[in-house]
Amino acid sequence: MRLCMCITRDTGTAPHAQPSVRSSGSRGAKAPHVRSRSEINGAYQKQRAPVPDERVPWSVAWPAYAPIEFTHESVAKQPVWADPVDASRIAGLRDRLSYESSPLTLAPNGRPLNPFGRTGTTGRGLLGKWGPNHAADPIVLRARPDGVFEMVAIKRRDTGQWAIPGGMVDAGEVVSVTLRREFTEEAGALDDPREQAALSSALDVLFGSGGSSVYCGYVDDPRNTDNAWMETAVHAFLLPADLSAKLPLQSGSDAADVRWLPLDEQLLGGDASALYADHLRFVMLALRQVGGERVRSPSAENART
């Protein structure tokens, strides 16, 4: 596993002084990017050709490969957050920032190729950008008196899974701003102005610390395609005990629910699909970094993918 600094898209500088784990993504795992080949996201039903594990890598010749072309209508109508339909007309596409593949590898039709291999779908699916689509994921943790950590988790509307309350990095936005904005939008949508003010000052302290940068790289996200994929920067924040009582939670419009999710042995040792995409793996990395020896859990490597 290589080490790197997470580089922000807009400044080209490292947002934090600490080195973070750079993606090993799904490379080397027994079944490479399984969620990127799944139809767990309802919009992808019947939109993927089956890709056996051994045929995922582009290096494996597969002349009969017949992926299904799919770009969701919400993307095809080209809202402000989406690229033009024709990738070959985008200037500088090859040099877009990626934590995984720099420069991007382009297919003869000018579309970027997923650095983790085939997904059974071409086009962009639900993703706006050709190539990497950048997100930021804040893992907010608190320790219970019995030593078990809890994390602020939201229930996603698309797959119904619990997830880190992360989201897309807006154009021109730095990761540190996205982390706080997404957390507030998804988990801190409070109506009461007094509660809102209390949350805001707690978040000043929490996010003001910068947290620990634990990962940057590919996400095995069920929206990925052969030509568009998710990458993220994951930061962990450990709440001091006095602050955790002052953190009221309320899910925003993007989330069906929000809660303090116990990171107990049942969750950490169980099925990785208990959390969205690669989020269980990111949580394991965060616990190892933030919790150290105090964490009672199997090691990150034991997480099933």
| Contact residues for ligand RP5, defined by CB under 6 A | 135, 137, 163-164, 166-168, 219, 221, 230, 232, 277
Spatial CB neighbours of 38, under 8 Å, sequence gap ≥ 6:
44, 48, 222
Least separation in angstroms between residue 135's CB and ligand RP5 is 4
- In the bound state with ligand RP5, the residue whose beta carbon lies nearer, of 23 and 232, is 232
Q: Which two tokens stand for residue 196?
A: 């809102």
Q: How far apart are CA 42 and CA 202, in angstroms?
A: 37
Token duo for residue 120: 């059974």
| Residues 175 and 169 sit within 8 Å (Cβ to Cβ) | yes
In this structure, are residues 121 and 65 in contact, taking their beta carbons and an 8 Å threshold?
Answer: no
Long-range (24+ apart) CB contacts under 8 A made by 242-245 are: 243/202, 243/205, 243/206, 244/142
Residue nearest to ligand RP5 (CB): 166
CB of 54 to ligand RP5, least distance (A): 25
Closest CB 207 distance from ligand RP5, rounded Å: 17
Which residue, 187 or 230, has its beta carbon nearer to ligand RP5?
230
**Least Å from the CB of residue 55 to ligand RP5:** 24
Nearest to residue 104, comparing CAs of 137, 127, 130, 141?
130
Smallest distance, Å, CB 73 to ligand RP5?
17
Give 135 or 303: the residue with its C-beta nearer to ligand RP5. 135
Query: Which one, 27 or 144, has the nearer CB to ligand RP5?
Result: 27
Closer residue to ligand RP5, CB minimum distance, 115 or 167: 167
Q: How far is the CB of 284 from ligand RP5 (least distance, A)?
A: 14
Dist. CA 204–CA 249, nearest whole Å: 16
Packing angle of the helix pair 175-187, 193-208 (nearest 10 deg): 150
Q: Cβ of residue 49: shortest distance to ligand RP5, in angstroms?
A: 22
Q: Which residues contact 153 (CB under 8 A, 6 or more apart)?
A: 162, 163, 164, 165, 258, 259, 260, 261, 275
Closest CB to ligand RP5 among 152 and 219?
Answer: 219
Residue with tokens 């706006």: 128
CB nearer to ligand RP5: pick between 45 and 59: 45
Side-chain half-sphere CA neighbours of 254 within 13 A:
18
